[in-house]
Every structure is written in structure tokens, then in C-alpha cells.
Amino acid sequence: MIQMATGTGKTHALLAMYDRLLRKEQTSYLMLVDDAHHLVVREGSTRSAAAFRQLVQPASIAQPMAPTRLVPLPFQPRRLRIVGDAELYTKWMTQAEEWERTGRDQRRAESTTVHRVRNPLVRKAVLRRSKGRCENPRCRNPEPVGYTDSADPILEIDHVVEHANGGRDHGSNTIALCPNCHALKTRGRDRHELGAFLQGVAQRLHRAASSRRH
């Protein structure tokens, strides 16, 4: 920025001179301030030098906002209330009745499942091997919980390594479980540990049953 004195033709003459200088120095911007407090730029347009000075003042630069002052709130003790089973049951049944009133219980969801075909002979062989009892050595009640119409004990013939995940459909990978042990093995909290344990059990039971024929 260059400050200069004014006179007839001086400003424009100096601008022409500096324009040649700027082209020679490959500079793109020239700013002159004359003694009449006008700001003169290279293109010849003018603006108030007072406005220019205001722009370059530090006060015109946006200052960072002061951090929000945190005001401590007074302590308000809250009394916790234990919700009983009866209250929860009533609440949920009320919501279930509202579900019915709005017709949501009549909605239908279409589903399609694809699964590997199981060999019925494997189920038959493992059911005979179990002698009608749960084959989980940790079962709390290995005796049959009941019987079907065909007089078969109510047992789930389960693949230790899931059949859908490539598990072998064979006695060494299949075990007879009561409904409770089957639920524990399928969705229990310790299902991974139980599954690894039952894998060894199924293999031992298969070897023992196969050795009896010799």
C-alpha cells in the first residue's frame, strides 16, 4: 500500500506508471491511498479510506466466543421405585390389548426358508442310541419329559456343528437333547462352551455305539 499526495492528474499518472511496474513484476494488485483519504485500486475504482481502516482494525475480526458458563444445579434427590412383577405384567398386557384393538394382531409376514435336507436314518439311529434319555451329561433331568403320539420320547436330535453351517449329518456330529438342554445349547448364555463340550460327547457316544456291533 502506497500513500501519495494528490494533484491534477497525479493519481491517474502514478497509476499508469505503477500499472506498467506491476506488469513487469507480475504482481496482480496495487493499492494507493491519497491525502484526501480515498482508497484507489488498480482498476481505478475508489472507496472510502475510512471504511478501509475500519476493515483492517482488529475489532472487525470475529473474536472467538467465550465458553459457556456452567451453572451448577441444586441437588435434587430422587426416590427410586421398584416395579413389581404384577405391575409389569399388567402394563404389558394392556399394551397387548391395545395391539389387538388396533388390528396389528391380524398382520401377516411372508417368509421363505431354505435348508439342507436331513437324513431321517441319522435321527432314527441317534434316538435309538440315546435309549430315550438326554445325552448331555450335565442334564439335570435326563429322564424323558414326555412322549409323542408315536411313543417316541420328546427329544431334540441336534447337530452340534450346525447343519446349516456345513455340519456333518452323522452320528458323530449329532446328539439327542431334552428341550431344556437344546434351548441352552441353541440360545443359552454359555452356548459356545456347551457346544464345544457336546461335540466331544457326540463323538464318544458314536464311537461307543459303533464298537458294540463288533
Please name the residues in contact with 67: beta carbons below 8 A apart, sequence gap of 6 or more.
none
pTM of the model: 0.56
Q: Kindly report, residue by residue over 194-203, the tens digit of the pLDDT.
A: 999 999 999 9
* Position 133 in a domain: yes
Give just the sign of the alpha carbon dihedral 38, 42, 43, 44. Answer: positive
pLDDT higher than 60, residue 1: no
Rounded-to-10 torsion of CA 135, 136, 141, 144: -30
Q: Kindly report, residue by residue over 107-162, the tens digit of the pLDDT.
A: 998 888 888 899 999 999 999 999 999 999 999 987 888 888 988 889 999 999 99
pLDDT higher than 80, residue 21: no
Task: Please give the tally of structural domains in the chain.
Answer: 2
Q: Kindly report, residue by residue over 84-121, the tens digit of the pLDDT.
A: 999 999 999 999 999 999 999 899 988 888 888 999 99
* Position 75 in a domain: no
pLDDT score of 213? 62
**Do 158 and 177 touch, CB atoms closer than 8 A?**
yes
Q: What residues make up the domain containing 19?
A: 2-58
* Position 88 in a domain: no
Last residue of a domain, one of 25, 42, 58: 58
* Position 126 in a domain: yes
Q: Kindly report, residue by residue over 31-89, the tens digit of the pLDDT.
A: 555 555 454 544 444 444 555 555 555 555 566 777 778 888 888 888 888 889 999 99
* Position 71 in a domain: no
* Position 159 in a domain: yes
Does 54 share its domain with 135? Answer: no
Does 136 share its domain with 206? Answer: yes
* Position 73 in a domain: no
Last residue of a domain, one of 16, 43, 58: 58
* Position 93 in a domain: no
Last residue of a domain, one of 32, 58, 84: 58
**Do 155 and 130 touch, CB atoms closer than 8 A?**
yes
Does 45 share its domain with 127? Answer: no
**Do 121 and 129 touch, CB atoms closer than 8 A?**
no
Distance of alpha carbon 88 from the chain centroid: 29
